[in-house]
Amino acid sequence: KAGVTQTPRYLIKTRGQQVTLSCSPISGHRSVSWYQQTPGQGLQFLFEYFSETQRNKGNFPGRFSGRQFSNSRSEMNVSTLELGDSALYLCASSLEFSGELFFGEGSRLTVL
Amino acid sequence: AQSVTQLDSQVPVFEEAPVELRCNYSSSVSVYLFWYVQYPNQGLQLLLKYLSGSTLVKGINGFEAEFNKSQTSFHLRKPSVHISDTAEYFCAVSEEGQGAQKLVFGQGTRLTINP
């Protein structure tokens, strides 16, 4: 069974640009969550989608957005990039009520 | 709101020695508790979870943890570590009834195994 796939794995952007990250969940998983990991702030919850609806949202500015498609694939977008957005962005999928998140290897974003 | 404190940022241990990674949480509601492991340049992998039932939880790779409600702790233990256990370990909580998707993580404990 294929795991959670995130693309791209690495990317470099400049301040003010925008970026879109993609996540393909494990087949059959309808919930997709996104986390930001930085050395200073650690792992922080961004948002969670279930059946194309945002079900939970963390404390991030509106520049961070996401969506989920009917096949459960998800994208997150960050607009007007700032230096502080440099981070590893992790996507995780899960079965409802399973109590377990399956994480991808992440997309490492560097903002210059 | 919940918060998680991992009391040690780094723990060096000799191979085959026992180890305990400490985790305390704060919450005004009932919680689910988790330990995840992150190997270099990889995502996180679930080691074990407490949702309900027995307070002693066994996970993968010989790890176990005990939920102590009165002390709001969920410490992770392994009786004998191996070089392959070198990784970063994260304790996490989620609000009971909200599922396990919205996790609040601790800052992590870097476990280093010395031969």
A9 interface with B at CB cutoff 8 Å: no
Flag whether residue A23 sits within 8 Å of chain B, measured between CB atoms: no
Question: Beta-carbon neighbour count of residue A95 at 10 Å?
Answer: 15
Tell me how far apart the alpha carbons of residues B79 and B73 are, in angstroms, rounded to a whole number.
19
The residue-averaged pLDDT of A10-20 equals 98
Mean pLDDT of B9-32: 95
Contact between residue B34 and residue B51 where contact means Cβ atoms under 8 Å apart: no
Residue A38: closest CA among chain B residues belongs to which residue? B107
Cβ of residue B28 closer than 8 Å to a chain A Cβ: no
pLDDT at B99: 67
Res. B47: pLDDT tops 70: yes
Over the stretch B31-40, which tens digit does the pLDDT of each residue have?
A: 899 999 999 8
pLDDT of residue A11: 97
Stretch B43-49: mean pLDDT: 94
Q: What is the mean pLDDT of chain B?
A: 93
Give helix then strand counts, H and E, for chain A.
Answer: 0, 11
B54-81 mean pLDDT: 96
Lookup: tokens for B60: 């993968």
How large is the average pLDDT for residues B18-43? 93
